[in-house]
Amino acid sequence: MINTKLPNWEVGPRYRLVRRIGKGTYGSVCEAIDLQTNQRVAIKNVKALFDDVIEAKHMLREISIMRTLNHINIIKIVNIFTPSASQEFNNVYIVMEHAEADLKKLSKSPTYLEHNHIKHLMYQAVCGMRYMHSANVLHRDIKPANILINSNCTLKICDFGLSRSYRSLNQNFESQAENNMNEERDMNARGFQKGFKRILTGHVVTRWYRAPEVILLEKEYGKEMDVWSLGCVFAEMLQMIRENNQEFIERCPLFPGKSCFPLSPDLNTANMRAGYPCSESDQLNVIFQIIGTPSAEDLRFISDEKAIRYVQSFPFIPSKDLREYFPACTAEEIDLLQRLLTFSPHRRITLDQALQHPYFAMIRDPNLERLAETPADFIFDRDTDIDMQTLRDLFRREINRYNHI
């Protein structure tokens, strides 16, 4: 439970703290009033910023990405400042747009949505994600908690802490190896299975929203991973239609796995598949129980023989009719959900195709469908030997963009 007591933050005369609203990896978040504009904002207090070079780089990347992205359906930073007593700005305050709720909190409340509400929310999510991808950014952690919603049915994607920039939509992922070498060393140190050579990290995306290609540690996962996660989010939105789920306390993720091959298997199970522990609650097994086991064609994207043998070790499981889970959904809603939750990333619907789907035909807005003019490409992502002083200088440059030091 979040501590509602107001913290003793040095936010100066411009901001008045209202309440504590969250706590994450990098610090606490409070709702506040910007007394200059009389607008509500969210302030994240990041402490000990430069105690670790990896964590400093992560935070620098997050704020750089958020500064680069400029779309109404993506949360914006409105200010960054430091406590007046801070000379080294080891403690920074990041001021962002405020939203009334996130989808996770909303789904746990006795709130119900109408079909039209969900259509408008999903359309905004597709537009925001499409813009983000056009700026060469993978979010890598799309989930209900990172989908902010206001009472006027506006949506904003937030939390870019796991996001990465990449230089083209058809990038050579081998060139990104050095970007992730420290994370790779961390994986090896934790004793992950040998034989799965990783270029991008496999422990991204909260388990229940993790795409098959990420679960199977594909070297070349791309923007399709975010599309799968968005499909999982769409499923939870559809559960908020009263006729689909009468009791709000029964709402849950579509794929609530409790373990995940091969990075976090259930070591207490006696069941083995292709030499790996596999319980009934393994994430892939939970996925297969709904969408069915993949065909030979579906497996063509998998590059690692161990992963192929593991998937092929599952007995045939037919796909379920999604109307069993969402009896009140329209044919268009079911069709879009199926296309988003397609096992193979090569056959999964693209965001361009999603916009063309009949589901959105009557609500499209060219202003929301614009693409990014500037790709995200940061010097610190090209320099693996970047030192702490350089990070400090780059961070000071980011703060200076907001004209407050």
Is the preceding omega at residue 262 within 30 degrees of 0, hence cis? yes
- Is there a contact between 248 and 109 (Cβ–Cβ < 8 Å)? yes
HEC secondary structure over 35-68:
CCCCEEEEEEEECCCCCCHHHHHHHHHHHHHHHH
Helix (H) or strand (E) holding 80: strand 77-81
By C-alpha distance, which of 205, 164, 191 is closest to 262?
191
Active site residues: 141
Tokens of 187: 């994986």
Task: Give the C-alpha separation, 81 to 36, whole Å.
Answer: 15
- Is there a contact between 158 and 75 (Cβ–Cβ < 8 Å)? yes
Helix axes 224-238, 331-340, angle to 10 degrees: 140
Termini Cα distance of the chain: 35
Burial class (CB in 10 A: 0-12, 13-18, 19+), 13: exposed
By C-alpha distance, which of 136, 134, 62, 127 is closest to 92?
62
**Residue 23 counted as an annotated binding residue:** no
Helix (H) or strand (E) holding 149: strand 147-149
Task: Give the C-alpha separation, 239 to 250, whole Å.
Answer: 9
Burial class (CB in 10 A: 0-12, 13-18, 19+), 120: middle
Pick out the residues of the known binding site for ATP: 44
Pick out the residues of the known binding site: 44
